[in-house]
């Protein structure tokens, strides 16, 4: 079998050319990085779990009418997605104070926010992803005002939907990061959700115990990283417990 052409290798994924024009394959690795790759490690099984979680969330978001790049999962570690032109902006949504927000403003982690805060960062590891606002985005031509409006309105819908979905399985969606892309169909362009949604780019806290169930366990050497990722998948009802036929529904919490 001919080897696929690798397009790009990132910190957590390898991107290959897809089988048809306009498609690409996302391969999820177990490699983990934090603090702009100053800390590097492995989370065994992470790639398999993130592939499943991202498939699940993108599919559910598609079901409520959010356009996404996701097409289908190919195997344990790979999914087929539409090739999009990635907009070089990281959109971060926050519902509860944590991480860099807590540091920047000296606020205690866990403070609920009276309304969700959306922040934007310029995707550049050389520059350490600097925070930017609408002025930078439009002045530097990273996105047009209508594109930005569309990204913001999709982000709010995604936040509402995901907050409810996770609350239903006993998980608080503290904050998360999204990326969007331009999907060209003939001469029409649509903004679609791209990249992945997983415990690598979300903060998840158990509603009862406030236990962290995300990459913060790796960032802060807390241990139990693999188990936390698995637990998120298990609660969503997508972790086979003894084999691929043993798929349970979501773990509804009272
Ligand atoms: N995040 C991400 N990629 C980044 C920066 C942040 O996925 O390059 C996610 C992170 O996992 C968290 C949210 O965005 O869920 C907010 O991150 P924060 O700004 O607090 O930065 P961090 O603490 O990750 O440095």
Give the right CATH number for 6-83+228-240 from 3.30.200.20, 1.10.40.30, 3.50.50.60, 3.40.50.12780: 3.30.200.20
> How many angstroms is it from 139 CA to the middle of ligand 1?
25
- Cα 41 to Cα 115: distance, rounded to the nearest angstrom: 35
> How many angstroms is it from 97 CA to the middle of ligand 1?
12
Cβ of 217 closer than 6 Å to ligand 1, yes or no, is: no
- Both structure tokens of 126: 């050389």
Cβ of 176 closer than 6 Å to ligand 1, yes or no, is: yes
| Shortest-distance Cα residue to atom 19 of ligand 1 | 100
6-83+228-240 against 85-206: fold identical: no
> How many angstroms is it from 203 CA to the middle of ligand 1?
8
Pairing state between β 85-86 and 171-185: antiparallel
Q: Worst-scoring range by mean pLDDT, 33-47, 75-89, 237-251?
A: 237-251
Cβ of 34 closer than 6 Å to ligand 1, yes or no, is: no
Mean pLDDT (the chain) is 95
> How many angstroms is it from 201 CA to the middle of ligand 1?
6
Tens digit of each residue's pLDDT (9 = 90 or more) over 157-210: 999 999 999 999 999 999 999 999 999 998 999 999 999 999 999 999 999 999
- Is the pTM here over 0.85, yes or no? yes
- Cα 68 to Cα 58: distance, rounded to the nearest angstrom: 7
Cβ of 52 closer than 6 Å to ligand 1, yes or no, is: no
Residue 252's pLDDT band (boundaries 50, 70, 90)?
low
Give the right CATH number for 85-206 from 3.30.470.20, 3.30.70.270, 3.30.365.10, 3.40.980.10: 3.30.470.20
| Shortest-distance Cα residue to atom 21 of ligand 1 | 100
| Shortest-distance Cα residue to atom 11 of ligand 1 | 201
Tens digit of each residue's pLDDT (9 = 90 or more) over 126-150: 999 999 999 999 999 999 999 999 9
Q: Domain ranges for the chain, please list them.
A: 6-83+228-240, 85-206
Residue 114's Cβ-count burial label (10 Å; 0-12, 13-18, 19+) is: exposed
Q: Pick the atom of ligand 1 nearest to 35's CA.
A: 25
């Amino acid at each position: 079998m001919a080897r696929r052409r690798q397009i790009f290798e990132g910190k957590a994924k390898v991107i290959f050319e897809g089988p048809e024009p306009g498609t690409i394959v996302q391969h999820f690795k177990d490699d983990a990085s934090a603090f702009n790759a100053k800390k590097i490690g492995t989370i065994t099984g992470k790639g398999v779990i993130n592939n499943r979680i991202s498939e699940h969330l993108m599919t559910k978001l598609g079901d409520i009418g959010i356009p996404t790049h996701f097409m289908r999962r190919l195997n344990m570690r790979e999914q087929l997605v539409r090739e999009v032109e990635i907009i070089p902006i990281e959109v971060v949504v926050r519902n509860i104070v944590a991480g860099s927000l807590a540091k920047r403003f000296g606020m205690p982690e866990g403070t609920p926010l009276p309304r969700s805060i959306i922040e934007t960062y310029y995707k550049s590891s050389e520059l350490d992803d600097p925070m930017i606002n609408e002025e930078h985005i439009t002045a530097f031509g990273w996105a047009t005002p209508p594109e930005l409006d569309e990204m913001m309105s999709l982000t709010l819908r995604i936040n509402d939907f995901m907050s409810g979905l996770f609350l239903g399985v006993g998980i608080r969606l503290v904050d998360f990061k999204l990326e969007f892309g331009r999907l060209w169909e003939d001469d029409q362009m649509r903004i679609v959700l791209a990249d992945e949604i997983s415990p690598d780019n979300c903060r998840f806290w158990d509603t009862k115990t406030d236990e962290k169930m995300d990459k913060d366990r790796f960032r802060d050497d807390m241990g139990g990283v693999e188990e936390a990722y698995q637990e998120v998948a298990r609660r969503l009802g997508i972790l086979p417990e003894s084999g691929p036929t043993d798929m349970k529904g979501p773990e509804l919490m009272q």
